Amino acid sequence: PTVGRFETALARLEGTESAVAFASGMAALTAVLLVRGGAGLRHVVAVRPLYGCSDHLLTAGALGTEVTWVDPAGIADAIRPDTGLVMVESPANPTLAELDLRAVAHSCGPVPLLADNTFATPVLQRPVEHGARLVLHSATKFLGGHGDVMGGVVACDEAFARQLRQVRFATGGVLHPLAGYLLLRGLATLPVRVRAASAAAAELAARLSRDPRVARVHYPRIGGAMVAFETVGDPHEVIRTVRLVTPAVSLGSVDSLIQHPASISHRIVDASDRRSAGVSDKLLRLSVGLEDVEDLWADLDQALGEPGGGTGRATTARLRVPE
Ligand SMILES: *Cc1c(COP(=O)(O)O)cnc(C)c1O
């Protein structure tokens, strides 16, 4: 019943009839692909970038899917009789690229559009209002919000939800009741957390975009707690020298986290596919938490080092190599 209460709450937030919760975001995506594959609709049309493991799951075809990667303008032409799903993220992980969801949904025709809404949360964007049929969340991120729970959820109509529950029953990717409790409690503060973190993120994005040590800043028009930026110097040096911000994968926590997508979250994606999707080797992805914005800026400012690329510090330690 605790998981059921979380599902009902999330469905109301996303404006859907139902929602089905899973053990993780990847378990949720797996269930969607199995539902469509089970109906003989194994072909997926997808737009890069997506979260690295979502990209990998589609590219590897481990669930019997075949993927066609396209630009948004190429969606309609890529759809075949066996296309079961169109998949997008907006803002996308890790570049924060935004799509016109209404135009994308229109290009899909009768094929269901799955929008990964992990980055925006229903506080900033409700994809169903723009024509998406399925809304995916890694609940591990903003919905839980404290970096202490893993979960996933698909918000959709009841007909699709019924099929998702059958796959969940058969494959075991269930959400633990304690995780359901933590996620439900997370939802109570979701709007307050997202608005506070977004205000800080917008301020940091503005300061970074005026900074000569930063080559490029990516911050979505709809706002949000995520900032991506390309350094002029070595991005690993920033990761190595932050003190308040935690160098770690994941996002959406009360604690600010920073990571280097090319070597962590999107390492699994082929380097050429990564680069053509706009994931530069200089890109850093920052998830802004609830620390004071001046403290966060002071930390980023010292971590970016001296203008001109040098760090102004003795750097005898070797770079930490991410696993
Ligand atoms: C993390 C993430 C996922 C996968 O979720 P898990 O809960 O880690 O399995 C899917 N999509 C996006 C956008 C993510 O950031």
Going from the Cα of 241 to the center of ligand 1, the distance in angstroms, rounded, reads: 26
CATH of the structural domain 190-317, one choice from 3.90.1150.10, 2.60.40.10, 3.30.1360.40, 3.40.50.300: 3.90.1150.10
Cβ pair 268, 49 in contact under 8 A: no
89 lines ligand 1 (CB under 6 A): yes
Q: Whose CA is nearest to atom 15 of ligand 1?
A: 51
Burial of 315 (0-12, 13-18, 19+ CB in 10 A): middle
Can you point out the beta strands (E) in 90-133?
A: 113-116
Which of 22, 57, 141 to probe ligand 1 with, by most ligand atoms within 8 A of CB?
Answer: 141
Going from the Cα of 47 to the center of ligand 1, the distance in angstroms, rounded, reads: 16
Going from the Cα of 116 to the center of ligand 1, the distance in angstroms, rounded, reads: 9
What's residue 108's pLDDT?
A: 98
141 lines ligand 1 (CB under 6 A): yes
Which of 50, 98, 118 to probe ligand 1 with, by most ligand atoms within 8 A of CB?
Answer: 118
Going from the Cα of 249 to the center of ligand 1, the distance in angstroms, rounded, reads: 11
260 lines ligand 1 (CB under 6 A): no
In the chain, residues under CATH classification 3.40.640.10 are 2-188
Averaged pLDDT of the chain:
95
Going from the Cα of 119 to the center of ligand 1, the distance in angstroms, rounded, reads: 9
Nearest in space to 183 (alpha carbons), one of 31, 291, 22, 15: 22
Nearest in space to 179 (alpha carbons), one of 232, 129, 138: 138
Structure confidence at residue 312 as a pLDDT band (50, 70, 90): very low
Residue 3 has pLDDT above 70, yes or no: yes
Q: Give the pLDDT mean for 89-116.
A: 98
Cβ pair 44, 92 in contact under 8 A: no
- CA separation for the pair 67, 50 (Å, rounded): 13
Distant-in-sequence, close-in-space partners of 60: CB < 8 Å, separation ≥ 6: none
Nearest in space to 79 (alpha carbons), one of 88, 64, 62, 67: 67
Rounded to two decimals, the pTM is 0.94
What's residue 309's pLDDT?
A: 52
The 10s digit of each residue's pLDDT in 199-249 is: 999 999 999 999 999 999 999 999 999 999 999 999 999 999 999 999 999
In the chain, residues under CATH classification 3.90.1150.10 are 190-317
Alpha carbons within 13 angstroms on the beta-carbon side of residue 97 total: 17
231 lines ligand 1 (CB under 6 A): no
Cis amide prior to 49 (ω within 30 degrees): yes
Determine which of 13-17, 233-237, 303-307 has the lowest per-residue pLDDT on average. 303-307
Query: What percent of the chain stands above pLDDT 70?
Result: 95
| Closest atom of ligand 1 to CA, residue 140 | 7
Q: Whose CA is nearest to atom 8 of ligand 1?
A: 25
Question: Which value, in Å, is the radius of gyration of the alpha carbons in the chain?
Answer: 19
| Closest atom of ligand 1 to CA, residue 252 | 15
Q: Give the pLDDT mean for 11-26.
A: 98
90 lines ligand 1 (CB under 6 A): no
Phi/psi for 231 (5° steps) reads -85, 155
Structure-block tokens of residue 154 = 């698909």
| Closest atom of ligand 1 to CA, residue 118 | 13
Domain 2-188 carries which CATH code?
A: 3.40.640.10
138 lines ligand 1 (CB under 6 A): yes
